Amino acid sequence: MLFPDFARPLMSGINVKTPIALTGGKVYRLTLYPELGRDDRSVLVVGMTLQFQFEEADNGLKWFLSEQRKFVDNAVKAIKSVWDDRWRITTGSTAPHRRLRDVGVLFALKTHIDGWHSDDDFEITVKKVPTGTPDSAEVRYRLGNADMMNSANDARNRGGPTKQRAVVHEFGHMLGLNDEYDTNPDFFDNLRHTPNRSWLSDTESVMNAGERVRARHYVPFATWLTQQLATVAKLTTSDVTYRVDGVWDATNARL
Ligand SMILES: [Zn+2]
């Protein structure tokens, strides 16, 4: 477990660039805190606000408020269980303070049900469908919205060795990551993104058919840290590059 010392933020900003976005990313806030009780590690907290809209498809199935709350609760738990604290982001440079050289990652999700909120990053419409309906989900990154079904928290076989809950895969898109399976994008729909074909055989990956967050998926956070420490690097004429698991950065992640 990682415990950020929320009373002492060290630096913050919005994400600089995500693989999906044509221009600078905009949808999540990054804040670095010291790790509570340690002076040699920090915690990067990735904050995002998700607004859920519960829609009854044209099938007579009603959403009860208790079911809506349970859906949101399960979605947040699923996302955090898959995405939190998977990898360390480190730099080999001794120029930054030592607590800045070894960074863990947590996701802080704020949620709303229905209504209008000015602070939402993604508006997620969830349809209630009959049991057994093949589930489908989509994130329209640049519009900041997404569609899911009430089955999005259920693990389904997607052709890989392990099952996958749609919600944990779609969250990867909300972070700006591309599909890693070979989708057939509709080029007439400019809202849909093209797949990343560099990792087609890695079917356990969360952006493919499984639920494993790979080190490469944290690389946008490492890149952000490298940018934040650019002044320190310049002043000390040292290479302050952050890498995930000591290896992965923007030069080799193939995102
Ligand atoms: Zn996808």
Cα–Cα dist 215/218, whole Å:
6
With a cut of 70, say whether residue 183 has pLDDT above it: yes
Percentage of the chain exceeding pLDDT 70: 93
Q: What is the pTM of this model?
A: 0.94
Q: How far is the CA of 180 from the centre of ligand 1 (A)?
A: 8
Q: Assess if residue 124 is contained within a domain.
A: yes
Q: Band of the pLDDT at 195, cuts 50, 70, 90?
A: confident
Lowest mean pLDDT among 118-132, 133-147, 190-204, 230-244: 190-204
pLDDT for 23 equals 57
Q: How far is the CA of 252 from the centre of ligand 1 (A)?
A: 22
With a cut of 60, say whether residue 59 has pLDDT above it: yes
Q: How far is the CA of 42 from the centre of ligand 1 (A)?
A: 31
pLDDT for 190 equals 47
Integer-rounded Cα Rg, in Å, for the chain is 19
Return the beta strands (E) in 83-140 as ranges. 89-91, 102-113, 122-128, 138-140
Q: Assess if residue 114 is contained within a domain.
A: yes
Average pLDDT over residues 122-149: 90
Average pLDDT over residues 8-28: 77
Q: Assess if residue 229 is contained within a domain.
A: yes
Q: How far is the CA of 138 from the centre of ligand 1 (A)?
A: 7
Average pLDDT over residues 32-51: 96
pLDDT for 141 equals 84
Q: Assess if residue 253 is contained within a domain.
A: no
CATH of the domain at 125: 3.40.390
Q: How far is the CA of 100 from the centre of ligand 1 (A)?
A: 33
Can you give the residue range of the structural domain that contains 171? 46-83+109-244
With a cut of 80, say whether residue 191 has pLDDT above it: no
Q: What is 35-94 written as a DSSP string?
A: BTT-SS-EEEEEEEEEEEEEEE-TTSPPPPHHHHHHHHHHHHHHHHHHHTT---EEE--S
Q: Assess if residue 100 is contained within a domain.
A: no
pLDDT for 194 equals 77
Average pLDDT over residues 89-108: 97
With a cut of 80, say whether residue 160 has pLDDT above it: yes
Q: How far is the CA of 178 from the centre of ligand 1 (A)?
A: 7
Q: Band of the pLDDT at 166, cuts 50, 70, 90?
A: very high
As for how many domains the chain has, the answer is: 1
Strands 102-113 and 42-56 come out as parallel
Q: Assess if residue 36 is contained within a domain.
A: no
Average pLDDT over residues 120-132: 91
Q: Assess if residue 99 is contained within a domain.
A: no
Q: How far is the CA of 54 from the centre of ligand 1 (A)?
A: 21
pLDDT for 16 equals 67
pLDDT for 56 equals 82
With a cut of 70, say whether residue 145 has pLDDT above it: yes
Q: What is the mean pLDDT of the chain?
A: 91
Q: Assess if residue 157 is contained within a domain.
A: yes
With a cut of 90, say whether residue 154 has pLDDT above it: yes
With a cut of 60, say whether residue 99 has pLDDT above it: yes
Q: Return the higher-pLDDT residue of 185 and 198.
A: 198
